[in-house]
């Protein structure tokens, strides 16, 4: 078993961008399992690459099941809103951009800000005797952001499908979802609140601070990070965070 585990996305655009990131550093991956869930860098020993979904990588980093991983900051902060002492964001990679935003119906002409939404929530609760519904896959980030804006008269509706369709389907009045251009939200008759940006997320190279960092794992990591950043900046940040 390799001393260091690195998790990367198993498919899609993120996987392609990860491959490009490593190739740029002169590293090419070679599959080591028949089903393609394991790989290695032929010229760097003691590093096992695990191919997982982006959400699995986030949970594995927080739990300490892998040493390093590439995944979205949005997924990491949903898994653990407070990353300090648990996960170190070593490097934002400049791809995989997704903004986590609060959006409402474009017909709510008097609702442009979170303060306006607070007024609507209070009025809705008084009129309907139930709380306004917010559909999202980002329950933790939503609760944290709404608390910061002192909004309490709402309830979260977990979204398992296309969140942007919840208002039209009548299952929620507000959504918190990810967007890149905003086109899909607009196509569903929604608008982003002026101060409704919760997080501007990118794919990050991250390190678990709760993983088992043996001397062998640290040595393998030092070799890998030196290839990714010859200046030593990444290694210096990780060493400081592990101290």
pLDDT in tens, 158-169: 998 899 999 999
> Is residue 25 classed as helix, strand or coil in its secondary structure?
coil
From 55, 88, 87, 61, select the one nearest 74 (Cα to Cα).
55
pLDDT of 2 reads 86
User: By the 8 A CB rule, do 94 and 88 touch?
Assistant: no
Of 179, 170, 177, 92, give the one whose Cα is nearest residue 133.
170
- Write the DSSP symbol of residue 165: G
Look up tokens 């898994």; give the residue: 79
> pLDDT value at position 196?
98
Query: Based on the domain organization, do 49 and 77 belong to the same domain?
Result: yes
Q: Which of 197, 232, 218 shows the shortest CA–CA distance to 90?
A: 232
pLDDT of 70 reads 98
Are 78 and 105 in the same domain? no
Is residue 236 a contact partner of residue 116, using CB atoms and an 8 Å limit?
Answer: no
- Which structure tokens are listed for 52? 């997982």
Low-confidence ranges of the chain (pLDDT < 70): 34
- What CATH number is given to the structural domain containing 66? 3.40.190.10
Element (DSSP H or E) covering residue 206: strand 203-208
Same domain? For 108 and 148 the reply is yes
* 117 and 79 both lie in a single domain: no
pLDDT of residue 187: 96
Mark whether 69 and 26 lie in a shared domain.
Answer: yes
**pLDDT tens, residue by residue, 83-122:** 999 999 999 999 999 999 999 999 999 999 999 999 999 9
What are the structure tokens assigned to 111, written together?
Answer: 């609702």
Asked if residues 101 and 196 have their Cβ atoms less than 8 Å apart, the reply is yes
Give the neighbor-by-neighbor strand order of the sheet with 87-92.
30-31, 38-41, 44-52, 4-9, 68-72, 203-208, 87-92
Question: Whole domain around residue 45: which residue ranges?
Answer: 4-97+202-242
Contact 4, 69 (CB under 8 A): no
Q: Are 95 and 19 in contact (CB under 8 A)?
A: no
Spell out the alpha helix ranges (H) of the chain: 12-24, 54-63, 73-79, 114-128, 139-148, 166-169, 183-187, 215-228, 233-242
On whether both 52 and 146 belong to a single domain, the answer is no
Tell whether 21 and 45 lie within a shared domain.
Answer: yes
Total number of domains in the chain = 2
Q: Kindly state the helix (H) or strand (E) to which residue 70 belongs, with its residue range.
A: strand 68-72
pLDDT on residue 31: 86
Residues 93 and 207 in one domain: yes
d(CA 57, CA 45): 22
pTM, two decimals, is 0.92
């Amino acid at each position: 078993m390799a001393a260091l585990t690195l998790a990367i996305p198993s498919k899609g655009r993120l996987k392609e961008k990860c491959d490009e990131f490593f190739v740029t550093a002169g590293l090419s991956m070679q599959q080591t399992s028949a089903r393609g869930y394991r790989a290695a860098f032929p010229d760097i020993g003691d590093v096992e690459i695990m191919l997982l979904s982006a959400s699995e990588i986030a949970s594995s980093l927080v739990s300490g099941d892998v040493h390093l991983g590439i995944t979205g900051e949005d997924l990491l902060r949903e898994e653990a809103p407070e990353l300090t002492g648990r996960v170190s964001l070593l490097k934002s990679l400049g791809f995989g951009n997704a903004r986590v935003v609060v959006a409402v119906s474009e017909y709510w002409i008097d609702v442009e800000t979170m303060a306006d939404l607070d007024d609507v929530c209070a009025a809705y609760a008084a009129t309907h005797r139930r709380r306004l519904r917010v559909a999202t896959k980002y329950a933790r980030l939503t609760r944290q952001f709404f608390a910061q804006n002192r909004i309490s008269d709402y309830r979260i509706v977990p979204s398992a499908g296309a969140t942007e369709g919840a208002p039209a389907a009548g299952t929620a009045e507000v959504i918190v979802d990810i967007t890149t251009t905003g086109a899909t939200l607009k196509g569903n008759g929604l608008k982003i609140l002026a101060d409704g940006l919760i997080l501007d997320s990118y794919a990050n190279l991250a390190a678990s601070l709760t993983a088992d960092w043996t001397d062998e794992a640290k040595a393998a990591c030092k070799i890998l990070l030196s290839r990714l950043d010859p200046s030593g900046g990444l290694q210096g940040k990780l060493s400081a965070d592990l101290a």
